[in-house]
Amino acid sequence: MGGIRENVAEVRERIARAARKVGRQPEEITLIAVTKNVPVERIKEAVDAGIKELGENRVQELLEKQAGLAEEDISWHLIGHLQRNKVKYVWNRVRLIHSLDSLQLARELEKRAAPAGERIKVLVEVNVAGESSKFGLPVEAVPGFLKELTGFKSLEVLGLMTVAPFVNDPEEVRPVFRRLRELAGEIEALALPGVEMRYLSMGMTNDFEVAVEEGSNMVRIGTAIFGPRQ
Ligand SMILES: *Cc1c(COP(=O)(O)O)cnc(C)c1O
């Protein structure tokens, strides 16, 4: 592993290569650097290398790092499971919440944003492979869930997110990414108010090239930028 700057350059190059391979423009794809367990000084190196979007799993860690990087021009993404009792700390501090997975959580987000006259941008997390260890809605539940969400005027649903199973050969999870993209198409055809399929958040260190080939436009990369986590 090189330094963080070299790693960022290499990840960008690999994203670009995967995009071109399937006739896409590399600029379509947003690189989110995932900073869980990474100290602020190391995150700064990534920001110095041009990273503008950061992703955190946990609310507490996100708030601490936001404070530590207050000078920087950064958009934050909450990519991990969000507990209802944490919503009040974070709902207006991130660009996008990737992990909407229940009506109870939607209700809590609405409850915060509506009185403030604000809108919260969210992705719906989908457990495409049906792993019991993972958060997210089953594929079949997503259209019905989104129909119920149309009553939540403060939520702007901008797409779907998934975490694929960890496998040795990323080709094995290609069908997972393909299914998420197909699901986005099925949802688009429903033309639900307040629902737009602008983002597909899929692809991590182990599988992002395959995800890009299958239509991802938001990849969430930790290890390939910062090295293995402690
Ligand atoms: C940790 C994490 C990532 C990044 O994982 P790497 O394999 O280190 O790239 C992406 N998305 C989510 C939801 C994560 O929890």
First to last CA, the chain: 15
Distance 69 CA to ligand 1 centre (A): 20
Distance 220 CA to ligand 1 centre (A): 6
Per-residue pLDDT of the chain (230 residues; tens, 9 = 90+): 579 999 999 999 999 999 999 999 999 999 999 999 999 999 999 999 999 999 999 999 999 999 999 998 999 999 999 999 999 999 999 999 999 999 999 999 999 999 999 999 999 999 999 999 999 999 999 999 999 998 999 999 999 999 999 999 999 999 999 999 999 999 999 999 999 999 999 999 999 999 999 999 999 999 999 999 87
- Indicate which residue's Cα is closest to atom 10 of ligand 1: 220
Does the C-beta of 57 come closer than 6 Å to ligand 1? Answer: yes
Q: Does 160 map to a domain?
A: yes
Does the C-beta of 58 come closer than 6 Å to ligand 1? Answer: no
Does the C-beta of 134 come closer than 6 Å to ligand 1? Answer: no
Strand partners, 97: 78, 122
Q: What is the pLDDT of residue 1?
A: 58
Distance 24 CA to ligand 1 centre (A): 24
Q: Does 136 map to a domain?
A: yes
Strand partners, 161: 125, 201
Does the C-beta of 36 come closer than 6 Å to ligand 1? Answer: yes
User: Which of 15, 62, 101, 204 to mutate to test ligand 1, by most ligand atoms within 8 A of the CB atom?
Assistant: 204
Q: Does 229 map to a domain?
A: no
Question: Does the predicted model carry a pTM greater than 0.85?
Answer: yes
Domain count for the chain: 1
Distance 20 CA to ligand 1 centre (A): 24
- Rounded CA separation 42/189 (Å): 43
Q: Does 227 map to a domain?
A: no
Distance 127 CA to ligand 1 centre (A): 15
**CA 142 from chain center: how many Å?**
17
The one-character DSSP state at 92 is T
Q: Does 76 map to a domain?
A: yes
The closest-lying atom of ligand 1 relative to the alpha carbon of residue 99 is 13
Q: Does 46 map to a domain?
A: yes
Distance 203 CA to ligand 1 centre (A): 9
Domain extent, residue 56, equals: 4-80+88-221
Kindly report the CATH number assigned to the domain that includes residue 160. Answer: 3.20.20.10
Q: What is the pLDDT of residue 149?
A: 94
Q: Does 230 map to a domain?
A: no
Q: Strands (DSSP E) along 126-205, which ranges?
A: 155-161, 195-201
The closest-lying atom of ligand 1 relative to the alpha carbon of residue 161 is 13
Q: What is the pLDDT of residue 230?
A: 76
- Rounded CA separation 188/182 (Å): 10
Q: What is the pLDDT of residue 111?
A: 97
| Nearest residue to 195 via CA among 65, 79, 130, 106 | 106
